[in-house]
Amino acid sequence: MKNLISTVMLLTMITLLSAFTSNVTDGTFTVDSGASQVKWTGYHLAKSYEHNGFVKIKSGKFSVSDGKLTAGEFVIDMNTISNSDVTDAKDNAKLVNHLKSDDFFGVKKFPEAKLLIKGSEPTASGLRVTADLTIRGITKSILFDATLKEADGGKVEATATITVQRTDFEVMYGWKVSNAMLSGEFKMDVKLVGVKS
């Protein structure tokens, strides 16, 4: 009886995992920059309020096999950082310019950020992705959850929420013990739409 229960549970898990991976076409996909987006969210200390906006994907490709992300490389154009929540034009420009400055992303010296997909494994809700993230010329290994699904026109859509520890990339503004005012992390909500190459 115990063996039967174990077998049923195993088959159930396999079925659940298959449901998230079986309907995605294998192949290599080129990112449609116009249909893809990266939304960033930065927080005040204790997340009492936030700022958010977008940054554009310059280029990218990713590979899918057996419903998993097996490889990928994406270039983010840091010069395209924008803000969505500050309505006053002067204040908006001031914030964006500050984000581009050496206090934050040093865009003049580091105009691109990169994400290199190294592989993924299925989970109960999608995929657990291993990747290298490069910001300000510093590369760190990260893990994040993602989903893959078929999109219209034979395209594939990948979505993920990536939490970044900004101090790992020497984005230190507002983080000294004496004047800590910003959270040590920010979030990127990523949607990638890929066209089969």
What CATH number does the domain containing 102 carry? 2.40.128.110
Q: How confident is the model at residue 182 (pLDDT cuts 50, 70, 90)?
A: confident
- The answer to whether the beta carbons of residues 40 and 55 sit under 8 Å apart is yes
Q: Count H helices and E strands in the chain, helices first.
A: 2, 9
- Please compute the mean of the pLDDT values over residues 105-133 and round it to a whole number: 97
- Give the integer Cα–Cα distance in Å for 27 and 44: 41
pLDDT in tens, 39-61: 999 988 765 689 999 999 999 99
The two three-digit tokens of residue 64, written as one number = 């899918």
Number of domains in the chain: 1
Domain of residue 149 covers 2-196
- Give the integer Cα–Cα distance in Å for 131 and 162: 11
Alpha helices, DSSP H, located in 74-197: 89-100
Q: What's the mean per-residue pLDDT of the chain?
A: 88
pLDDT at residue 16 in the model: 47
Question: Bridge partners of 52?
Answer: 41
- Give the integer Cα–Cα distance in Å for 88 and 2: 66
pLDDT at residue 4 in the model: 52
pLDDT for 167 beyond 70: yes
In this structure, how many other beta carbons lie within 10 angstroms of the beta carbon of residue 169?
20
> Distance of alpha carbon 53 from its chain centroid, rounded?
14
161 vs 183 pLDDT, higher one:
161
- Please compute the mean of the pLDDT values over residues 166-170 and round it to a whole number: 92
